[in-house]
Chain A
Amino acid sequence: MRKFDTKVQHLKYKVLKEVARLAFSGELLENVTDIPKMIVPGKEPTMRCCVYKERAILAERVKLAMGGDRSNPNVIEVIDIACDECPVVGYEITESCRGCIAHRCEDACPREAISFDHEQKAVIDKNKCIECGRCAKVCPYTAIISRKRPCENACKVKAISMNEDKTAKISNEKCVECGACVYQCPFGAIMDKSYILEVIDILKKSNNNEDYKVYAVVAPSISSQFTYAKLGQVIAGIKQLGFFSVVEAALGGDLVADSESRELSEKGFLTSSCCPAFVKYINHEFPDLSGNISHNLSPMALIGKYIKSREDKAKVVFIGPCTAKKSEIRKETVKPYIDSAITFEELQALFDGKGLDITTAAEDLLDNASYFGRIFARSGGLADAVRQGLKENGITDFDYKPLSCDGLEECRIALLKLRARKLDANFIEGMACRGGCIAGAGCLTHGEKDKDQVDKYGHEAYEKTIKDAISVLK
Chain B
Amino acid sequence: MGYAGTNKGGTSAILAAEELLRSNREAADEISVDAVLTAFPAIIDRIMGEGGLWHERTAAAAFIQAGGDTAEAVHLLRAHRSTLPRLTFSLPIEPDDMALCRRVVPAHRSPDGPQLLGETVDYSPRIIRRGVGDPLGGDDSDLVVDDDQIGPAKYPDRPVQRYTRFLAAQGLLVDRRDESDPEPYDLALNPITLPAPRSARLSAMSLAETGALVNLWYRGVIGPDGHTDESVTLGEVRYGRLGVRVTHPHTGNPVQVGEIRATECESMAHLDERGEDASRFDAGYGFAMGHNERKAIAMANMDLAAQRYASGPAGWQTEQVIMHTTDGLAANGFLEHLKLPHYVTFQSMIDRALAARAEDGKTSQRELAEDAAEQPAQDAAEQPAEDATKKEVLA
- Please indicate whether A and B come from the same complex rather than being unrelated chains: no
Point out residues on B near A: beta carbons under 8 Å: none
